Chain A
Amino acid sequence: MVFQITDIPRILPEILLLFLAFMVLGSDIFEKWGRSPAARLERARSSASLTTIGLGLIFVIALVQSGYVPGTAVAATAESSNPLLNYLINIVRNLQAGGPGGAPIIGVFATDHLTMVARLMLIGAAFLTSMLCLDYLPQANPAEFYAMIIFATLGMCLMAGANELIIAYLAVELTSIPLYVLAGYYRNDTRSAEAGMKYFLFGAISSGILLYGMSLAYGFAASAAGGMGGNDLTQFQRIAELARINPEAGTGLLMLAMIFIVVGMGYKVGVVPFHGWSPDVYQGAPTPVTAFISTASKAAGFILLFRLLTVAFPGLTGSATLGSELGGWTALLALLALLTLIIGNLAALPQTNAKRLLAWSSIAHAGFLLLGLIAWASPHGFDRDQGTVALLYYLVVYSLTNVGAFGALAAVMLTVGGEEIADLNGLAQRNLLLATLLTLCVLSLAGIPPLAGFFAKFYIFMVGWQAGAEWLVVVAVITTVISLYYYLRLLKAMFIEAPISNEPLRAPPAITASVSLAVAGLIILGIFPNLVLGVISRVQVVAGL
């Protein structure tokens, strides 16, 4: 398997992201900037706008390439008499030749619908984050800040399409290293430096555990391959195939590999008991970076975990129903989900810092997301597909919500000057728009109809119930009710408490625009979920069965 020239359109979004990163870096290096504050401001602004516009364009190109928007799919023989229109049709057709479908590139990078949907989600989250940064400008080395965001997005897109152990590990590293740098970017601010260090230490440990798990999986494949050596022993499907052919050969090795991999990825997505870095890093990092980490990085982590478990270890799926059949990775995930739901929601109750509260709420949401993975415990293919769709839909909704919530917090921090809940006091009287946007985001997190969060939670509870994990769904519902308390505390601070000063708050325009986009998406998805569900339903991961 060699890299063909026809593979380039299939990996086009990633190549474009790389070019954008180089452009952002180059635009900063090859121009003489002044030293005055106005000049530094202009320098930061230029990198920010270049990144935002570039990410928006890449999103549009990826959307065209996928053919998901009804009416943009071009038939193979479409033609037009108008030469200009013909030219455009040809361009779109060539773009869509790289759309979802076909064998994985060199066998390592899968370009199926899952990758396409993930790409759109991740690039969209990066776009909203960089729009947030238009007002939250990092003054020192601005171009590198945005280049790091773009590199992290590139790593995440690769994580979503990884079909093999080597590229999975490399993609995880490519995502993590820019995020470590971003979390610790304001290095003179003690909290940011500490966040960067903690994130790095925990991330390095988890990479080590993940790599050891991969070595055991490779070892199983190598010893089970018998005489036929081959050079594709690290591919997920191959591991699953070998596990199927030799059922008793080294199941212990494979089980241990699976446990290590779940532990390693568990650190990345922040489930209990591997969540230790989350509250500190979310609180200490610059707020747009927190928004990025909590949405895109978590989404990419979940998708990679999904691919790893369902494609590489389908034989170990087991079941999550209480009883004699408890076992396999669904049982392990059910245990983790139980711990995450309980601890995540309970620990958020006494928080007084808004960012930290949202951090604990993110940890709790990771527990809800695990329910989508546990849906694979069901033996019916229909339930499994539903589980996949529920997981992806929840990820989309959760990403929009978190970007909105953290964005609103960033606006409050820039104007009021703090991130405690007390700083939100009386926000409704000072700036009604910002308060309303934050309210809608918080209500969606809590799962109140008719916002998208309600439908996402309902869907994922339903698939969890059908898969036999009724006990877990009951716990999830109870903890959702508990979470209402701390979400409503935010609303109480905004609407009922008296403000510190009565002057009206002028929210920064770019942050407001970004948060408005996110909330608009939430409202639309809540009333018309089918818009996105139809697209996500095309994702059918072929497990190694």
Chain B
Amino acid sequence: MDTLIFIITAAIALIGAVAMVVARNAIHSALFLLLNFGAVAVLFLLLYSPFLFAIQLTVYAGAIMVLFLFVVMLLGAERIEDAPDQIAWQRPLGIGLGVVLMLVAMATALRASAFAPPPGGEALATFGDPAALAALLFTHYLLPFQITGIILLVAVIGVVVLNQRGRHRSEEAGREDARTRRREDARR
């Protein structure tokens, strides 16, 4: 039963990923990626991490993809005509590299991981419990937790600064001010 669910979900994830790369319209790409994220969230649930399932849906599917869709529609980037590539063999080379990478990664993964069924038992009952995660987060991983908070603060400041309307100064204007200032200093 688990295997059946896994196969269906994995198929949906793969279809979403491939369709995202192939789709011409950027909005279609974003929506296929949304499908992929949903499938991955279900996979998290299968792997006994309900907390991550909820976080994946809330943050990744619910916030990040919505932001992507907003920006795509804001920029009108959904209609991109494909002009011929600057290097003629760029696309086949990219595809070739990607396939090679996939084969290498899969071969390594096959050799290393166990094909045995993962452990079960009573330890599994409390595994992935949000309470256990929280206990770790505030004791063992306190420093990374604080750093994540700082990263979020930095991102907020960065976004506000990059998109603020108001007095736009360019580098040339900055140089203008420096020259004006030096002239004033010299006069003094």
Q: Do chains A and B touch in the complex (CB under 8 A)?
A: yes
Q: A139 near B114 (CB under 8 angstroms)?
A: no
Q: Is the CB of B158 within 8 A of A219?
A: no
State whether the Cβ of B157 lies closer than 8 Å to any Cβ in chain A: yes
Establish whether residues B158 and A137, one from each chain, have CB atoms under 8 Å apart when the complex forms: no
Partner-binding segment picked from B46-54, B64-72, B177-185: B177-185
A106 touches B142 (CB 8 A): yes
Contacting pair B111 A252 (CB below 8 A)? yes
Q: Which A residues are CB-close (under 8 A) to B154?
A: 148, 151, 174, 177-178, 181
What CA separation (Å) do A508 and B164 show in the bound complex?
30
Q: For residue A224, which residue of chain B has the nearest CB? A: B112
In the complex, residue of chain B having the shortest beta-carbon distance to the beta carbon of A284: B171
What is the count of residue pairs linking A and B with beta-carbon distances less than 8 angstroms?
A: 136
| Binary interface encoding of chain A residues 227-267 relative to chain B, with 1 for a CB under 8 A from any of its CBs, else 0 | 00001000000000000000001101101100000000000
Contact A148 B157 (CB under 8 A): yes
Minimum CB–CB distance from A133 to chain B (whole Å) comes to: 11
Among B141, B161, B162, B180, the one with the most A-chain Cβ atoms within 10 Å of its Cβ is B161
A30 at the interface (CB under 8 A from B): no
Judged by a CB distance under 8 angstroms, whether A376 is at the interface is no
Closest to B180 in A: A37
Task: Find out whether the CB atom of A154 lies under 8 angstroms from the CB atom of B150.
Answer: yes
Q: Given A37-B177, A186-B170, A189-B170 in contact, is the A167-B140 Cβ separation under 8 Å? A: no
Instruction: Let me know if B104 is at the binding interface, CB within 8 A.
Output: yes
Which residue, of B107, B111, B112, B151, has the highest number of chain A Cβ atoms within 10 A? B112
**Is the beta-carbon distance between B175 and A414 smaller than 8 angstroms?**
yes
Residues of A within 8 A of B142 (CB): 2-3, 106
A181 contacts B162, C-beta separation under 8 Å: yes
Q: B144–A167 contact, CB under 8 A? A: yes
Instruction: Bits for B88-113, please: 1 = Cβ < 8 Å to A, else 0.
Output: 00000000000000001101110111
Residue of B whose beta carbon sits closest to that of A256: B108
B150: A residues at CB distance < 8 A: 18, 151, 154, 174
Q: CB-CB < 8 A to B105: which residues of A?
A: 256
Cα(A279)–Cα(B39), bound, Å: 40
Answer whether residue A144 sits at the interface, using C-beta atoms and an 8 A cutoff.
yes
Chain A residues within an 8 Å CB radius of B157: 25, 144, 147-148, 181
* B147:A135 contact, CB within 8 angstroms: no
Is B139 on the interface with A (CB-CB < 8 A)?
yes
Is the CB of A105 closer than 8 A to any CB of chain B?
yes
State how many residues of chain A have any CB contact under 8 Å with chain B.
Answer: 61
Chain B, range 25-76, C-beta contacts under 8 Å to A:
none
Given contacts A106-B140, A180-B158, A141 and B164 within 8 Å (CB-CB): yes
A1 interface residue per 8 A CB criterion: yes
| B113 A223 Cβ-Cβ under 8 A | yes
How far is A256 from B102 in the complex, measured between Cα atoms in Å?
12
Across the interface, do B143 and A138 meet the contact criterion of CB distance under 8 Å?
Answer: no
Q: B162 and A187: CB pair below 8 A? A: yes
A501 on the interface (CB 8 Å rule)?
no
The reply to whether A140 and B158 contact each other, CB–CB distance below 8 Å, is no
Supposing A148-B157, A177-B154, A177-B158 touch, asked if A253 and B108 sit within 8 A by C-beta, the answer is yes
Size bin of chain B's contact surface: 35 or more
A181 engages B161 (CB within 8 Å): yes
Q: Is B83 an interface residue (CB 8 A)?
A: no
Tell me the complex Cα distance, A40–B161, Å.
Answer: 16
Chain B neighbourhood of A394, CB < 8 A: none
Q: Bits for B123-164, please: 1 = Cβ < 8 Å to A, else 0.
A: 000000000000010011111100110110011011011101
User: Shortest distance in angstroms between B163's beta carbon and chain A's nearest beta carbon?
Assistant: 8
Complex contact A170–B112 (CB within 8 A) = no
The distance in angstroms between the C-alpha atoms of A166 and B146, with both chains bound, is 13
Does B172 touch A at the CB level, under 8 Å? yes
* Residue B167 lies at the interface, judged by CB distance under 8 Å to chain A: yes
What residues of chain A lie closer than 8 Å to B188, measured between beta carbons? none
Docked Cα-Cα span, A33 to B174, in Å, equals: 19
Nearest A residue to B150, CB-CB: A174
Residues of B within 8 A of A181 (CB): 154, 157-158, 161-162
How distant is B47 from chain A, measured CB to nearest CB, in Å? 13
27 A-B contacts, Cβ less than 8 Å apart?
A: A2-B142, A3-B139, A106-B142, A108-B141, A109-B143, A136-B178, A138-B169, A139-B169, A140-B166, A140-B167, A166-B144, A170-B148, A174-B151, A177-B154, A177-B155, A178-B154, A186-B169, A186-B171, A187-B168, A188-B168, A192-B171, A249-B112, A253-B109, A256-B105, A256-B108, A286-B171, A413-B175
Other than the given A186-B169, A219-B113, 5 more pairs (CB < 8 A) read A40-B167, A137-B177, A253-B109, A253-B112, A255-B108
List residues of B whose CB falls within 8 A of some A CB.
104-105, 107-109, 111-114, 136, 139-144, 147-148, 150-151, 154-155, 157-158, 160-162, 164, 166-175, 177-182, 186
Across the A-B interface, give the 10 residue pairs with the lowest CB-CB distance, nearest first. Answer: A250-B112, A253-B112, A181-B158, A139-B169, A189-B170, A188-B170, A144-B161, A252-B108, A189-B171, A256-B108
